[in-house]
């Protein structure tokens, strides 16, 4: 089968289309004929060797896919061959991939393979940041950074659905328009100015209850400045670099909370919660209250171009590869 393989870590050019053996289905696993592959920012870090999970070279990137189950291994009872599914997996930049049966989510007929591939990581990260790591609901104010990206656009819409007031940041005016169209009340261009002053102005000096931050070092200090009393800053990525070590005593005067988040904490430990949240989000997609913005699709062979585009900060929404 065809797969993207890299034999050394580095820039997008290390990603090459190669012929590799089709995986043999193992006990507890589902073998999936891949129809669409979700590209995640973490894939670019994995390729560079700077992600928490290190590649075992030669390796294949990819953490999610949608397709049709071709075979299941011994002991699998929750999914059958022929089922349309989305899955949390590894090595998904390929024509076939394997996923643990507990990490496979049935895809409703109304959801395309492209939306299915766009869904697992970014939408469920946004959902669980808002509803598992926090208790987003009516009356809460939420600030979403890098809001035109995959997780960002999902978070803006899901926070609005929950009844929160949503503010957002992006790095260009074109992205700001897109985020406003997805339901943010106000969008600040954080490339051209400090966002905390604007957020404080928008909240009459109170600040926001929840900040979703996957940028890290460039935004952290400003975050603390515009976080409300008892506010919660959730750090779930570091696209702009890791934050400097800081003294938690600094959080005391306003009783603030800073937390970390990784989606696998939910998907690996709470499969029922994962499925339930997926079903809720599929229902919102059916209602039209959650729209997945597919920024661009690429052929699998052009995975390097997809990575270049994502790292350029020009991309919006989700990038998808088609094998």
- Chain residues that interact with ligand NAP, rule: CB under 6 A: 40-42, 121-122, 125, 146, 148-152, 170-171, 175, 214-215, 236-237, 239-240, 261-263, 310-311, 313, 315
How is residue 214 annotated by DSSP?
A: S
Rank residues 33 and 313 by Cβ distance to ligand NAP and give the closer one.
Answer: 313
Rounded CA separation 309/216 (Å): 21
CA gap 219, 61 in Å, rounded? 28
Is the bond leading into 58 cis (omega within 30 degrees of zero)? yes
Instruction: Write down the least CB distance from residue 153 to ligand NAP, Å.
Output: 8
DSSP string, 41-68: HHHHHHHHT-SSSPP-SSB---SEEEEE
| 234 touches 134 (CB < 8 A) | yes
Least separation, in Å, of the C-beta of 321 and ligand NAP?
13
Q: Single out the residue of 180, 181, 154 nearest to residue 168, CA to CA.
A: 180
Cβ atoms of residues 51 and 78 within 8 Å: no
Residue placing its CB nearer to ligand NAP in the complex, 214 or 224: 214
Least distance in Å: CB of 73 to ligand NAP? 27
Least distance CB 88 / ligand NAP (angstroms)? 11
State the minimum distance, in angstroms, from the CB of residue 184 to ligand NAP. 13
Judged by beta carbon, residue 96 or residue 119, the one nearer ligand NAP is 119
d(CA 82, CA 152): 33
- Nearer to ligand NAP by C-beta: 30 or 263? 263
Cβ-closest position to ligand NAP? 149
CB 9 within 8 A of CB 55: yes
In the complex with ligand NAP, the residue whose CB is nearer, 107 or 144, is: 144
Nearer to ligand NAP, 256 or 267 (CB): 267
Task: Give min distance, CB of 320 to ligand NAP, in A.
Answer: 12
């Amino acid at each position: 089968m065809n797969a993207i393989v890299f034999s050394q870590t580095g820039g997008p050019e290390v990603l090459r289309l190669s012929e590799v053996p089709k995986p043999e289905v193992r006990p507890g696993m589902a073998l999936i004929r891949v129809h669409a592959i979700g590209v995640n920012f973490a894939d670019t870090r994995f390729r560079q060797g700077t992600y928490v999970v290190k590649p075992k070279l030669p390796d294949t990137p990819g953490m999610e896919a949608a397709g049709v189950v071709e075979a299941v291994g011994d002991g699998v009872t929750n999914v059958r061959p022929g089922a349309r599914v989305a899955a949390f997996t590894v090595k998904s930049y390929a024509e076939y991939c394997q996923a643990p049966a507990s990490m496979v989510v049935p895809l409703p007929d109304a959801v395309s393979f492209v939306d299915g591939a766009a869904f697992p990581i970014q939408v469920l990260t946004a959902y669980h940041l808002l509803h598992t790591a926090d208790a987003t609901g009516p009356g809460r104010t939420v600030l979403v950074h890098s809001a035109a990206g995959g997780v960002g656009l999902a978070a803006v819409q899901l926070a609005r659905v929950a009844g929160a007031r949503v503010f957002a940041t992006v790095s260009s005016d074109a992205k700001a328009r897109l985020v406003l169209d997805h339901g943010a009340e106000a969008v600040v261009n954080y490339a051209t100015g400090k966002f905390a002053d604007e957020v404080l102005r928008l909240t009459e000096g109170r600040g926001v209850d929840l900040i979703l931050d996957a940028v890290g070092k460039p935004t952290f200090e400003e975050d603390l400045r515009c976080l409300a009393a008892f506010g919660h800053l959730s750090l779930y990525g570091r696209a702009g670099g890791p934050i400097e070590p800081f003294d938690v005593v600094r959080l005391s005067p306003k009783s603030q909370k800073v937390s970390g988040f990784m989606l696998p904490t939910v998907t690996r430990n709470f499969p029922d919660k994962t499925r339930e949240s997926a079903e809720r989000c599929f229902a919102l997609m059916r209602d039209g209250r959650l729209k997945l913005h597919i920024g661009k699709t690429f052929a699998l062979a052009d995975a390097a171009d997809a990575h270049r585009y994502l790292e350029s900060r020009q991309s919006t929404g989700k990038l998808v590869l088609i094998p």
